[in-house]
Amino acid sequence: MSESPRPRAMAPRRPARWLLLALPLAVVLVMALQGAFLAPAVSALSPGAVAITAITPIAPADSNNPCGSGPRAMYLQVNVTNTSGGALTGLSANFNGFTTAGFTLTAGESPARYIGSLAAGATASLYWYVTYPCTIGTSTTYTVTVADSAPGTVTSGALNLTTRAEISASAGGNVVGMTVPSSIVVGQIVPVTVNYDFGNPAAGADAMIEPAGNLGFAPGCYRLVGTDITASTFSAGPLTAADNQLYFPSVTGGSSNTLTVVYSFRVLCANSGATAVPFADLTSGTPQKYTGNFGASFSFPAATNPFTIGKVVSPATLTGGGTVTYTVTVQNTSVTAALVDRITDVLPAGVTFAGLAAGSGVTAANSSSLPAAGATGTINFVGQPNVSYSVPANGSLALIYTATVTGTPGSYTNSATVVSGTLTVGPAAATVTVGLAASPTPSPSPPPGATPSPTATPVPQEESPAPTATPTPSPTPHATATPHATATPSPTVAPGAGAPVGPVDPGAATATAQAGAPIIPGLPNTGAGGDPGYGPVAVLTLGLIALVFALAAIARRRRSRA
């Protein structure tokens, strides 16, 4: 009997080559996706990233009667220059005060300034209105701190200001003409033109120009944001190219010189006017001279509020959770363009910000801070200081964004306000209704068209998720919220001169900061650039692992069949 052949021992199976390649490739792909989805690390501001320079070292004081004549206040200028080699975002500056009694910020002047974004090599000129003592030759020091949102801070060295004896004389720059608009609105950049007439500069002369020098000015309502020399007969110093500059250390010119300066003021307050007494000074012979006709003044008319705000949502009714689009419209009813600093929206629990939508006038390009995708609660859209958000005359600005709404039945109302300087307008609200309201007591569902309560009057839905709706005894008379919210024409004015925030003034000197979001004290920090979370990475990782195991199972099945 022939012996049956013994079965050959099976060699241990090796994993398929493609599987050995797929596993490391999956790991590499996951790591790459993590790099793509996670926010890049944001470096904190560090010494050397910005240069902080004092521009105005002298405070003129009348040599004969320093306490009773001449200027007692002035704009102090400090320049912040980006020396980092790259763009900086979320910048703010804070004036830290003087070291000598008698020098102080004028009443109503905020120590904080919001700079926003600053390109490599660019300079932000900042102006603080200060008062100084009527003691000649008194010196003080002060510092300025610049911060970003990483957070990081850079504080200047000691900067100097000294009172200097000067006499009142026409050679120091008489004011020979002033022009100011007859009506203004909150958020407007108001041009004020001042014409000066100077004498002959002495050898080594310096000069200064100032839009105000009186103690009664209101810097908390009218903030200097820039200067533009439009005409000059000087040969060096205050020339037409020397914009955004108040002090000139080296001046030359003829026997008489004229200068035309346009000072730009941002209007921060409604229903408040102010009077300013401009002046200048020049080394012309000895001693130093300031404006001979000091006391000539101009007045800002009381500003009015040009803004209204409205809000709508679409769709206003959802059968379950989903995505909706909110449109916030800021209307400017005046005949001049006006700026708003920020738009604030308060999302209710269950509603999550997704992103800006097509057609939005608020964009990443004209914003210094935007909410991150996935943000909840209070979210802020912040413009770039003195540039955006600009609402055209008799026009509007639309903020359009999408949000996800939970599937839990109920009504979800959120409200938006707009801020310009110390003025807050709104709120304007919009409501999304998810599903149908639940009955307060368990009962069998009534037949279609039945009335659950003798007194309830069902109102037909405009956008019904089903052919018929079952009315319920909800406390609200309507089963669905109206898809259009009514604009709020009457503003609420926040009192106090220290309230401006966003591009104009971040408010207090302290703030909560997160990576990638600008320091805007007084505001929840929801700026873009923060950690968006590991959600997308986790999902993709699980998907890749599942794919690898599925392919491995298919390979095993093929081998078993073979």
Answer yes or no: do 158 and 229 share one domain: yes
**How high is the pLDDT of residue 44?**
80
Please give the structure tokens belonging to residue 126: 């900042």
The answer as to whether 454 is a domain residue is: no
What are the φ and ψ backbone dihedral angles of 29, each rounded to 5 degrees?
-65, -40
Q: Would you place residue 560 in the very low, low, confident or very high pLDDT band (cuts 50, 70, 90)?
A: low
Answer yes or no: do 325 and 419 share one domain: yes
pLDDT tens, 8-42?
544 445 555 545 555 555 544 544 444 444 344 44
Of 300, 317, 344, the residue at which a domain comes to its end is 300
Average pLDDT over residues 137-143: 97
**How high is the pLDDT of residue 71?**
97
Answer yes or no: do 155 and 31 share one domain: no
Answer yes or no: do 330 and 293 share one domain: no
The answer as to whether 363 is a domain residue is: yes
Domain range holding 420?
Answer: 307-437+477-493
- Annotate 510-554 with DSSP letters as a single string: -----TTS---TTS---BTTS---SHHHHHHHHHHHHHHHHHHHH
pLDDT tens, 189-205?
999 999 999 999 999 99
Please give the structure tokens belonging to residue 335: 């005949």
Answer yes or no: do 294 and 351 share one domain: no
Answer yes or no: do 142 and 279 share one domain: yes
Answer yes or no: do 252 and 130 share one domain: yes
Average pLDDT over residues 466-487: 39
**Residue 514 · residue 42 · CB < 8 Å:** no
**Residue 544 · residue 11 · CB < 8 Å:** no
The answer as to whether 350 is a domain residue is: yes
Single-letter amino acid, residue 129: Y
Of 300, 332, 348, the residue at which a domain comes to its end is 300
**How high is the pLDDT of residue 312?**
98
**How high is the pLDDT of residue 473?**
40
Nearest alpha-carbon partner for 89 in 527, 386, 532? 527
User: What distance lies between CA 432 and its chain's CA centroid?
Assistant: 28
The answer as to whether 442 is a domain residue is: no
Q: What is the mean pLDDT of the chain?
A: 81
Answer yes or no: do 30 and 129 share one domain: no
**Residue 76 · residue 58 · CB < 8 Å:** no
Average pLDDT over residues 523-547: 44
The answer as to whether 453 is a domain residue is: no
Beta bridge partners of 114: 92
Rounded Cα gap, residues 90 and 369, in angstroms = 7
Q: Would you place residue 151 in the very low, low, confident or very high pLDDT band (cuts 50, 70, 90)?
A: confident
Of 256, 276, 300, the residue at which a domain comes to its end is 300
**Residue 410 · residue 434 · CB < 8 Å:** yes
- Residue 560, C-beta contacts closer than 8 angstroms, at least 6 positions apart: none
Q: Would you place residue 287 in the very low, low, confident or very high pLDDT band (cuts 50, 70, 90)?
A: confident
Nearest alpha-carbon partner for 314 in 305, 327, 331, 300? 327
Answer yes or no: do 229 and 350 share one domain: no
Q: Is the pTM for the entire model greater than 0.85? A: no
| CA dist 118 → 85, 89, 332, 403, 510 (Å) | 11, 6, 28, 30, 21
- Tell whether the model's pLDDT for residue 150 goes beyond 50: yes
Average pLDDT over residues 407-434: 96
Answer yes or no: do 278 and 311 share one domain: no
Answer yes or no: do 321 and 188 share one domain: no
The answer as to whether 428 is a domain residue is: yes
Answer yes or no: do 280 and 407 share one domain: no
The answer as to whether 458 is a domain residue is: no
- Tell whether the model's pLDDT for residue 450 goes beyond 60: no
Task: Supply the CATH number for residue 352's domain.
Answer: 2.60.40.740
Task: Supply the CATH number for residue 126's domain.
Answer: 2.60.40.10
More confident residue, 399 or 476: 399
Nearest alpha-carbon partner for 297 in 316, 268, 269, 277? 277
Q: How many structural domains comprise the chain? A: 3
The answer as to whether 94 is a domain residue is: yes
